[in-house]
Amino acid sequence: MGTNANLQGSNDHLTTPTRLTGAEIVWATLVGEGVTQVFGYPGGAILPVYDALRKFPIHHTLVRHEQGAAHMADGYSRASGKVGVAIATSGPGATNLVTGIATAMLDSIPIVCITGNVSSKLLGTDAFQEVDITGITLPVTKHNFIISRTEDIAPAIRSAFQIARSARPGPVLVDITKDAQQATAIFDFEAAKPRPVRQHPMRKYEDTGLDHAAELIRNSKRPVILAGHGIIESGAESQVRALAERAQIPVALTLLGLGAFPASHPLNLGMMGMHGEAWVNHSIQEADLLIACGMRFDDRVTGTIATYATKAKKIHIEVDPAELNKNIKVDVPLAGDLREVLEELLPRVSGRDGAAWLKSIDASKGAVAVRDIKNLPDSGHLYAAHVIHDIWRITGGNAIVVTDVGQHQMWEAQYYHHEKSRTLITSGGLGTMGFALPAAIGAKFACPEKEVWVVAGDGGFQMTAAELSTIVQEGIKINIAIINNGYLGMVRQWQEFFYDGNYESTPLVSPDFVKLAGAHGIQGRAVSTRGEVEAAVDEARSATGTFLLNFMVEGKESVYPMIPAGSALHEMIRRPAGKDPLEE
Ligand SMILES: Cc1cc2nc3c(=O)[nH]c(=O)nc-3n(C[C@H](O)[C@H](O)[C@H](O)COP(=O)(O)OP(=O)(O)OC[C@H]3O[C@@H](n4cnc5c(N)ncnc54)[C@H](O)[C@@H]3O)c2cc1C
Ligand SMILES: Cc1ncc(C[n+]2csc(CCOP(=O)(O)OP(=O)(O)O)c2C)c(N)n1
Ligand SMILES: [Mg+2]
């Protein structure tokens, strides 16, 4: 089996058509697409591909569960902007990828997953480890392929990369039968190039739309920019900043937009939505113009639609025409790449005096500027907010922080102030517990020179903790902060607020995480008072290997403010007086 080609050093096969096995074509195509790193787990139906790996200059990271491979590919992509790649075998290997694929789909992350399947003659016979993975992943991929002919492998993988990264990015799966991996075909990288992406017919905005948008901006008294994840995907950070600065418009960010506009910028209001600061949501409710840039009006952002920003005209700039007028009806829909649209809009926008509006927002911040917690006295308790604020302060805000899902995720969003794009990596749309540890491994491979922190809850960390072994096998360094509150905290909070404090199935017994780390050969330390936080964070950062900190925080703390699901954006649950650690 296999050809004699050793394709480690030379790239001749990318320029000269060469006969290769299907398995070799998989790697050769990945090399041609610029891939140097993949995450995966072998098995019978993908074994020819694994057998051929040694011939190619690609590093393969062996994961402990295929969900981890998909999250690593996802974290790699979010940190670098490149396409991440995950590989799995048929049957359970492929189905284990599904949560990771759906996570990437909901947040529009470009990953390519390659799975093996049973030989083409056995397809549809319930053969050993056969599943219809293209059927299963149809709703959670941007596109998928089943390939049973060797000559189709290169065109499918090249198309997969193009689809994954074009327009609105997303995950693509390529399922390849075992016989297609084993047979040979002429590999012609150039000929396998996909046709250029056809523009969606709606992706043509008229000059009138741009003129109308400029006019609305000129005439507005209380405008707000809604800054979303699309800014990062488009690379439109400087254009958004130029718009904000030129017209003196304050900027509210979605969770996935954090970092796209610097936290320290005077026009930055902070995060909007369910756990956004009160003044941010009030500004949106009071606004007379919203300029939505690469965000999709998720229900966590709007609250009840009927009462959402009723006084505001709305401009929506969005690459996916299906998002325009989907959740929120807008006055000026501009379909297209955000950077391109803003480059055309900016020359039409002139300076405006925004002082009165900015002053009134500033006044509404009042005394509860929760970001000023650093000077508050130590009350003897350890609060997650303090821990995260201290990690922000000590890392100078320069780390890549990869969060899991729950209360700690929201505290991270509130207390770690992100200055740059791609420094917060978090599962927003699917809200996938277990995301943080594997996604952080992917981020570290993407940015080996960067400091990477995991911020995970005691619940979510246990979902993918097996990837600690991957860290050790790969010899990489990340810092892990477990925010250990003894609860599935975010669910406990909902039970406190909406289910009469019936804490059914949310108290959580965990292993001793420091010992768990130790069993893997990873150093760690438990921290239970605020006084110890700084030294512990320093110890973790200066350790040569991965270091785990188990922060034993208050169990019954809640994330404030909170807009109950289905309420209006201004109907927030505020921190009850006297219960506020920040007011003690
Ligand atoms: C526990 C929990 C609590 C949460 N609470 C909040 C909260 O309080 N506030 C909050 O904001 N979120 C919150 N979220 C996250 C929320 O669910 C959504 O994931 C998030 O609001 C989506 O942000 P987005 O619209 O910016 O990003 P996405 O969902 O990624 O949407 C990005 C949009 O940009 C478009 N786009 C992509 N590329 C381009 C381009 N080149 N040009 C133009 N457009 C482009 C895409 O088509 C897409 O429509 C929470 C999540 C969890 C798990
Ligand atoms: C895979 C998965 N299962 C269930 C949930 C529902 N859920 C959301 S937050 C949460 C609790 C998370 O607990 P923990 O990881 O300890 O974080 P905390 O909220 O305590 O910070 C749960 C169960 C989810 N988001 N993902
Ligand atoms: Mg918890």
Active-site residue, 66 included? yes
Q: Is the minimum distance from the CB of 39 to ligand 2 under 6 angstroms?
A: no
Quote the ligand 3 centre to 101 CA distance (angstroms). Answer: 25
- Pairing state of beta strands 18-21 and 332-335? unpaired
Determine the 3-state secondary structure of 545 from DSSP. Answer: coil
Cα 468 to Cα 82: distance, rounded to the nearest angstrom: 24
Residue to substitute in 414, 435, 488 for testing ligand 2 pocket (most ligand atoms within 8 angstroms of CB) = 488
For ligand 1, atom 15, the nearest C-alpha belongs to 428
Residue to substitute in 107, 166, 197, 229 for testing ligand 1 pocket (most ligand atoms within 8 angstroms of CB) = 229
The pLDDT profile of the chain, 584 residues, written as one tens digit per residue, is: 456 666 666 677 888 999 999 999 999 999 999 999 999 999 999 999 999 999 999 999 999 999 999 999 999 999 999 999 999 999 999 999 999 999 999 999 999 999 999 999 999 999 999 999 999 999 999 999 999 999 999 999 999 999 999 999 999 999 999 999 999 999 999 999 999 887 776 666 777 899 999 999 999 999 999 999 999 999 999 999 999 999 999 999 999 999 999 999 999 999 999 999 999 999 999 999 999 999 999 999 999 999 999 999 999 999 999 999 999 999 999 999 999 999 999 999 999 999 999 999 999 887 565 545 555 566 778 999 999 999 999 999 999 999 999 999 999 999 999 999 999 999 999 999 999 999 999 999 999 999 999 999 999 999 999 999 999 999 999 999 999 999 999 999 999 999 999 999 999 999 999 999 999 999 999 999 999 999 999 999 999 999 999 999 999 999 999 999 889 998 999 887 655 454 43
Q: Which ligand is nearest to the CA of 489?
A: 2
Distances (CA, A) of 378 to 322, 332, 583: 50, 50, 11
Q: What is the CB neighbour count within 10 angstroms for residue 193?
A: 14
State residue 12's pLDDT score: 77
Q: Is the minimum distance from the CB of 296 to ligand 1 under 6 angstroms?
A: yes
State residue 8's pLDDT score: 64
Q: Give the alpha-carbon dihedral of 412, 418, 421, 423, to 10 degrees.
A: -50
* Contacts with 299 (C-beta within 8 Å, 6 or more apart), sequence order: 327, 565
Q: Is the minimum distance from the CB of 484 to ligand 2 under 6 angstroms?
A: no
Q: Can you tell me which atom of ligand 2 is nearest the CA of 461?
A: 15
Amino acid, res. 125: T
Q: Is the minimum distance from the CB of 432 to ligand 2 under 6 angstroms?
A: yes
Quote the ligand 3 centre to 556 CA distance (angstroms). Answer: 10
Q: Is the minimum distance from the CB of 276 to ligand 1 under 6 angstroms?
A: yes
* Contacts with 144 (C-beta within 8 Å, 6 or more apart), sequence order: 133, 134, 137, 138, 172, 173, 174, 175
Give the H/E segment covering residue 173.
Answer: strand 172-177
Copy the structure tokens of residue 268: 């930055």
Q: Which ligand is nearest to the CA of 463?
A: 2
User: What is the residue-wise DSSP string for 504-524?
Assistant: TT-B-----HHHHHHHTT-EE
Considering the candidates 1, 128, 204, 473, report the single residue annotated as catalytic: 128
Q: Is the minimum distance from the CB of 336 to ligand 2 under 6 angstroms?
A: no
* Contacts with 55 (C-beta within 8 Å, 6 or more apart), sequence order: 5, 6, 7, 8, 24, 27
Cα 147 to Cα 307: distance, rounded to the nearest angstrom: 49
Q: Is the whole-model pTM more than 0.95? A: yes
Q: Can you tell me which atom of ligand 1 is nearest the CA of 409?
A: 1
Cα 538 to Cα 551: distance, rounded to the nearest angstrom: 14
**How many Å is the maximal CA-CA distance in the chain?**
74
Active-site residue, 105 included? no
Q: Can you tell me which atom of ligand 2 is nearest the CA of 485?
A: 20
* DSSP letter assigned to residue 364: H
Quote the ligand 3 centre to 490 CA distance (angstroms). Answer: 8
Active-site residue, 407 included? no
Quote the ligand 3 centre to 455 CA distance (angstroms). Answer: 11
State residue 390's pLDDT score: 96
Residues 115/96, Cβ–Cβ less than 8 Å: no
Residues 425/373, Cβ–Cβ less than 8 Å: no
Amino acid, res. 266: P
Copy the structure tokens of residue 270: 């902070």
State residue 198's pLDDT score: 78
Q: Is the minimum distance from the CB of 277 to ligand 1 under 6 angstroms?
A: no
Q: Is the minimum distance from the CB of 493 to ligand 1 under 6 angstroms?
A: no
Q: Is the minimum distance from the CB of 490 to ligand 2 under 6 angstroms?
A: yes
The angle subtended at Cα 532 by Cα 529 and Cα 538, nearest 5°, is: 145
Q: Is the minimum distance from the CB of 406 to ligand 2 under 6 angstroms?
A: yes
Active-site residue, 572 included? no
Quote the ligand 2 centre to 558 CA distance (angstroms). Answer: 14
Q: Is the minimum distance from the CB of 418 to ligand 1 under 6 angstroms?
A: no
Q: Can you tell me which atom of ligand 1 is nearest the CA of 233?
A: 38
Place of tokens 């020359």: 347
Active-site residue, 463 included? no
Q: Is the peptide bond before 250 cis (omega within 30 degrees of 0)?
A: no
State residue 202's pLDDT score: 65
Q: Which ligand is nearest to the CA of 205?
A: 1
Amino acid, res. 160: A
Q: Pick left, alpha or beta for residue 178 (phi over 0 → left; psi -120 to 50 → alpha; otherwise beta).
A: alpha
Residue to substitute in 106, 490, 553 for testing ligand 2 pocket (most ligand atoms within 8 angstroms of CB) = 490
Residue 345 CA, distance from chain mean position: 28
